[in-house]
Structure 1
């Protein structure tokens, strides 16, 4: 059975960029929206990949 090559994933955006987007969404009243939830997941992944776990402030 042939295998398909893994689809290359786009490089993750920096946590600071995602955090800024989260803050903007919250200011616009988007807290709790689907977009907000997706951004939180993206932010968590960025924090992990950047090794910021111990010195990062919580996202908005």
Structure 2
């Protein structure tokens, strides 16, 4: 189920990487593949939130 996109980014402790990824995908679907300036700003914030929420893997030995 997709929720409406918020204009503020919640901290990574509040949302999982999967939840943020769902919002990123919804943004692209709604935009039709071309982001406006405002949508790009939202996208950039979401990507940063996703990166901080995504599990970090240990480097291979």
Between Structure 1 and Structure 2, whose CA radius of gyration is higher? 1
Post-superposition CA distance 1:12-35 (Å, at most 9, x none):
310000000000001111646100
Q: Which has the higher contact order (CA 8 A, sep 6+)?
A: 2
Q: What root-mean-square deviation, in Å, do the aligned CA atoms of Structure 1 and Structure 2 show?
A: 2.1
**Stretches of structure 2 lacking an aligned partner (at least 5 in a row):** 1-10
Q: Give the aligned partner of residue 20 of structure 2.
A: 18
TM-score, normalising length from structure 2?
0.55
**Stretches of structure 1 lacking an aligned partner (at least 5 in a row):** 1-9, 55-60
Structure 1 residue ranges, 4+ long, deviating more than 4 angstroms after superposition:
none
